[in-house]
Structure 1
Amino acid sequence: MHLYVRRLTPLLSKIANPKTTTRAMATQHTPSSSDRLNIFSTPLRPHSLQPPTGYVRDGYCHAPASDPGNHSVAAILTPEFLEFSKSRGNDLTSIGLKGGCKWCLCVSRWKEALLAHGRGEVGKDAVPRVVLGATGRRALEGCSVDELVQWKADE
């Protein structure tokens, strides 16, 4: 089973009962001050608690040092991206995600979709829109502010 799917499988039970898990999830991790910044170096906004997202499932797309995947891109998923991700070995639909869900993506997967679009391999809908104020500063380790701004979500 793919590493991400194994890590995310417990999320299914949390999605089933979000009221009891939201409070627990929000207290699991207190980000450091550098974790709390978005790509504009302003305070990071929460992205989603239903489903609970982020590497530590606290609703924020900050990527602590313990996050090897750098889940810092605050994205709004599309069916086309979910299919793209599945074709690359990470089936996010297996944990109940669908188009329209807000999810903290690995910066490398978001960039992979962006580059595939640039090569004409996928349509523009395969690149998820980005919620800029909720995208963690570590996203800049894999893409530029300009790239993210080009794909900003209507907020």
Structure 2
Amino acid sequence: MARNVIGGDLETCGTDPLTGFYRNGCCDTGGEDMGVHTVCARVTAEFLDFSREQGNDLSTPRPEFGFAGLVPGDRWCLCASRWVEALREGVAPPVVLEATHARTLEWVDLDDLRSHAVT
């Protein structure tokens, strides 16, 4: 069983929309996941705008990929590096610690994650 950033079992991030690199609802990762989609975030409008500006439009529906587009409040497994970029720009979305994979700690300090934790 995968572990989360606070040492417990990795919990489900979101199933509506279905998230995760493996589209299993969890921010699990493996060798094929070059983007390291390990941060379970509750996306905000500010983050979605930021991501679009960085070239990753997460809010526009892409039916050809079975993707309805995200809206503020959706839970989504973000790339650890993108979350760090958003943190530096002051638009990091809140995170669900129990559903954020422990591998995230290779990129992000636990104190930064805790300061953005969903309560």
TM-score by length of 2: 0.90
Query: C-alpha root-mean-square deviation of aligned residues, in Å?
Result: 0.9
Q: Which amino acid aligns with 1:114?
A: L
Structure 2: segments with no counterpart, 5+ residues:
62-68
In structure 1, the residue matched to 2:107 is 142
Cα contact 1:62–1:137 (8 A) shared by 2? no
Q: Residue 91 of structure 1 aligns with which residue?
A: 57
1:51 aligns with 2:24: no
What is the aligned counterpart of 2:48 among 77, 82, 85?
Answer: 82
Choose the corresponding residue for 1:103, options 76, 85, 93.
76
Which residue of 82, 107, 127 maps to 2:92? 127
| Contact preservation (8 Å) 1:63, 1:71 | yes
Aligned-partner residue type, residue 105 of structure 2: L
Figure out how many residues of one structure are paired with residues of the other and give that number.
112
Instruction: Give the structure 2 partner of residue 69 of structure 1.
Output: 35
What does the per-residue CA deviation read over 1:70-112, in whole Å, with 9 as the maximum and x for residues that have no partner?
0000000001100000000000012311101000000001000
Pairs within 5 Å for 1:25-40: 33=1, 36-40=2-6
Q: Is the 8 A contact 1:62 1:138 kept in 2?
A: no
The CA distance in 2 between the partners of 1:37 and 1:112, in whole Å, is 24
Would you identify which runs of 4 or more consecutive aligned residues in structure 1 move more than 3 Å?
none
Q: Is the 8 A contact 1:71 1:105 kept in 2?
A: yes
Higher helix share: 1
Give a deviation string over 1:47-88, Cα, whole Å, max 9, x none.
Answer: 111100000000001111210000000000001100000000
Q: TM-score, normalised by structure 1?
A: 0.70
Runs of 5+ in structure 1 lacking a partner? 1-32, 118-125
For residues 45 and 145 of structure 1, the distance between their equivalents in structure 2, rounded to whole angstroms, comes to 17
